[in-house]
Amino acid sequence: MVDDSPQLHPIEKLLLKRLANSDHISIEKLVETSDLSVDQVRRGIEWLKFKKLIASIDKLYVVISLGSNGFEACKEGLPERRLVNAIKNGYTSVASVLKSGFLKPDEINAAIAIAKRNNWIQFTQLQNGDKKFLSTAEADFLSCEEKLLQKLVKLNSSVQVSELSSEEKQAFELLKRRPKYIVEDEYKYSEIILLESGRRLTHTMYTDTDNLERKLTPDMIVSGKWKDARFSSLDVMAHVPYLYAGRQHPLIDIIDEVKEIFFSMGFTEIDGPVIQAGFWNFDVLFIPQDHPAREMQDTFYIAGAKQDDFAHPDQIKKVSSIQEKGWNSDWNIEDARRLVLRTHTTSATIAYLANNEPQSARVFSIGRVFRNEKVSYKHLVEFNQVEGIVTDKRITLRDLMGLQKEFYSKLGIKKIKFWPTFFPYTEPSLQSMIYNCALDKWVEMGGMGIFRPEVTHPLGIKNPVLAWGVGIERIAMLRFGLNDVRDLYSNDLGWLRNLPKCQL
């Protein structure tokens, strides 16, 4: 036999019990008089409605409160009351009432009309044709309107129209005609009624013994007791806490993505030291020894550090000769010896070319580079750069542009264009501009070019070498919608714990 009641949720049972006691009840009242939260009551109502055990009816009620003029009238008195007061004070003609100050000119006619209706005044015609007022005994009693106004002032809150007496209702109708005496507001609410099917269920519920299991235990499983057990339902919608999962840093996500793109384009990853002799960071790249970028203002020199065997004597000879010829000045080996923190990953890729002299190669390197700059929202002292190079017997500027388009396209950046620019070690050189939809403008992304023969020939490379580099943090800022590059290194757990892994 199917017993329906175990399939009721504890919330549903509570609500049904409550409704059995008073079956026309608003949701607000239900919340007040049960131990449940508003959310729980609402949910329970929906489930019971769905199961056709209850129904809800939308109802409307009207409340009234004093308007600004009504408030005034309570203080000063209604115009018809003031008229009676004037008459009792001896102002018995229209003219004298006007002069008395009890009434304003525009109130007189209404006052007379209402006073007449209330049977508060009488006219007597004088011999000279003037009218004389007299007040009646009825005027000593409060009108129904006055009573209602007084009630509203005393309560100092709004009153439901449905709770007014018939006399008060009459007063309400009369006061409604006067401007700004009464303010009416409408409120909607839902009333819940217990249907017959629901009422039947409440009877069986009373006789139900509470022998529902809360937990399935290993003992119940092993002993076989589970065969006779029934389980209570759970509030499956209740809130539960989020967990703190382990996670890779978002910047590393970007680095992984960039690596995958390079692998998919046939590139092999290489690595290089972060500290190098100036020779590999500058001289080999045809940067003259007196170039401003080599100064301490822009480059980090390691204190008390020079390298003796930084390159093959043959490489040194060739590079120094190109330097002297190209820049028309003496070349000082001591400058080349000094250890620096690399300013670009180009020094890793160029060292690879020098030490392997490949005919054809595609390599890339991602790592930290350093610039002796002031930190700001767009500049860091230390950041990640990726540099890719391609060399082959036949490789052209158009191929370089094609590789760029492909690379950025795989990052999800489709709108890209190229402008000429300058680097001491490449010619021609281009910069890639990508379209930033959020800012609605073109921004510079990276630089690229074909290595000058002054760079490649001394290292024994005869084929053209394409090279390009881009800052990883720049890509990360675009992807994560950041405006300040420092946010990537702030390690704010609030950000790290909540940033979705998928950023597509």
Partner 1 sequence: MPVVNFTIERLYRFLPGIDLNRVLEVLPFIGLDIEGIDSEVLRIEYNPNRPDFASDYGIVRALRGLLGIEIGIPKLKIDKEINTYCVNVDKSVCDTRPYIVGLIAKNGKLDNSTIMQLAAMQDDLQNGIGRVRRKASIGIHNMDVIRFPVRYCTVNEDFSFIPLKQESRQEIKSILKTSNMGKEYSHILEGVKRYPIVVDSKDNVLAFPPIVNGNTTKISTDTTNLFIEITGNNIKTVEDILSILAITLYDAGFDLQNVTINNFDGNAYTPRMDVSYIDTNTSDINILLGLDVQVNEIVGCLQKSRLDATETRNKKIIQCVIPRYRIDILNYVDIAEEVAIGYGIYNFKPTIPYTTLVGQKNLTSTFINIVRNTMVGLQMLEIVNFSLVSKKIQYDLPGIREPEKVPSVIATKSREHEVLRDMLIPSLLKSLSRNIHEEYPQKLFEIGKIFKWGQNINEYWSLGAVVAHNAADYTEVKSIMQTLLKLSFGKSVTTKVASHPVFIHGRCASIIVGDESIGILGEITPFAIDNFKLRVPVAAFELNISKLLRN
**Residues of span 124-153 touching partner 1 by CB under 8 A:** none
The interface region with partner 1, picked from 22-30, 83-91, 188-196, 239-247 by CB under 8 A, is: 239-247
Residues 317-346 that bind partner 1 (CB under 8 A): 326, 328-329, 339, 341
Q: How far is the CB of 494 from partner 1 (least distance, A)?
A: 6
* Range in contact with partner 1 (rule: CB under 8 A) among 114-122, 151-159, 211-219, 302-310: 302-310
Binding residue (CB under 8 A) for partner 1 from 403, 445, 467, 478: 403
Closer to partner 1 at the Cβ: 312 or 417?
417
- Contact (CB, 8 A) for 463 and 385: no
Query: Would you count residue 87 as binding partner 1 (CB under 8 A)?
Result: no
Query: Can residue 311 be called a binding residue for partner 1 (CB under 8 A)?
Result: no
Nearer to partner 1, 212 or 302 (CB): 302
CB of 479 to partner 1, least distance (A): 15
The DSSP code for 142 is P
The span from the CA of 193 to the CA of 334, in Å, is 95
Residue 490 lies near partner 1 (rule: CB under 8 A): yes
Residue 419 makes contact with partner 1 by CB under 8 A: yes
Exactly one of 162, 297, 438, 440 binds partner 1 (CB under 8 A); that residue is 297
Residue 411 is a binding residue for partner 1 (CB under 8 A): no
Q: Does 377 bind partner 1 (CB under 8 A)?
A: no
Pairing of strands 416-423, 382-391: unpaired
> Which of the ranges 36-44, 54-62, 217-225, 288-296 carries the binding residues for partner 1, by CB under 8 A?
288-296
Torsion angle of the four alpha carbons 20, 22, 26, 31, in this order, in degrees rounded to the nearest 10: -70
Residue with Cβ nearer partner 1 (224 or 420):
420
In angstroms, the CA 354 to CA 297 distance is: 29
Of the residues 401, 445, 461, 485, which one makes contact with partner 1 according to CB under 8 A: 401
Residues of span 243-272 touching partner 1 by CB under 8 A: 244-249, 251-252, 256, 259, 262-271
Extended beta strands in 16-135, E state: 24-26, 54-66, 121-125, 131-135
Nearer to partner 1, 152 or 341 (CB): 341
d(CA 115, CA 107): 12
* Cβ proximity of 471 and 383 under 8 Å: yes
Q: Cβ–Cβ contacts within 10 Å for residue 412, how many? A: 12
Interaction of residue 360 with partner 1, rule CB under 8 A: yes
Residues 456-485 that bind partner 1 (CB under 8 A): 464
From CA 276, how far away is CA 340, in angstroms rounded? Answer: 6
The answer to whether 415 contacts partner 1 (rule: CB under 8 A) is no
From 129, 218, 494, 500, residue interacting with partner 1 (rule: CB under 8 A): 494
User: Which pair of tokens denotes residue 426?
Assistant: 């490449």
Cα→Cα distances 229→9, 217, 232, Å: 17, 11, 10
217 touches partner 1 (CB under 8 A): no
Please select the residue that binds partner 1; options are 31, 427, 463, 480, rule is CB under 8 A: 427
Q: How far apart are CA 489 and CA 203, in angstroms?
A: 65
Site size toward partner 1, by CB under 8 A: 88
Residue 7 binds partner 1, judged by CB under 8 A: no
Number of CB atoms found within 10 A of residue 45's CB: 20
Alpha-helical regions (H) of 367-452: 397-410
CA distances from 135 to 91, 140, 147 (A): 11, 9, 20
The smaller minimum CB distance to partner 1, of residues 119 and 376, is found at 376
Element (H, E) at 211: none
CB of 398 to partner 1, least distance (A): 3
Contact stretch for partner 1 (CB under 8 A) within 49-57, 75-83, 132-140, 424-432 = 424-432
Find the part of the chain contacting partner 1 (CB under 8 A) among 69-77, 107-115, 169-177, 356-364. 356-364
Residue 500 binds partner 1, judged by CB under 8 A:
no
Among 108, 109, 134, 107, CA closest to 121: 134
Shortest spacing between CB 437 and partner 1, in angstroms: 20
Tell me which of 105, 129, 224, 420 binds partner 1, using CB under 8 A.
Answer: 420
Task: For residues 450 and 392, give the distance between their C-alpha atoms in angstroms, rounded to a whole number.
Answer: 12
CB nearer to partner 1: give 140 or 373. 373
d(CA 83, CA 112): 7
Q: Which is nearer to partner 1, 149 or 285 (CB)?
A: 285
CA distance 495 to 136: 82
Q: How far apart are CA 147 and CA 11, in angstroms?
A: 47
CA 145 from chain centre, in angstroms, equals 54
- Which amino acid type is present at position 342? R
Give the single-character DSSP code of 463.
Answer: S
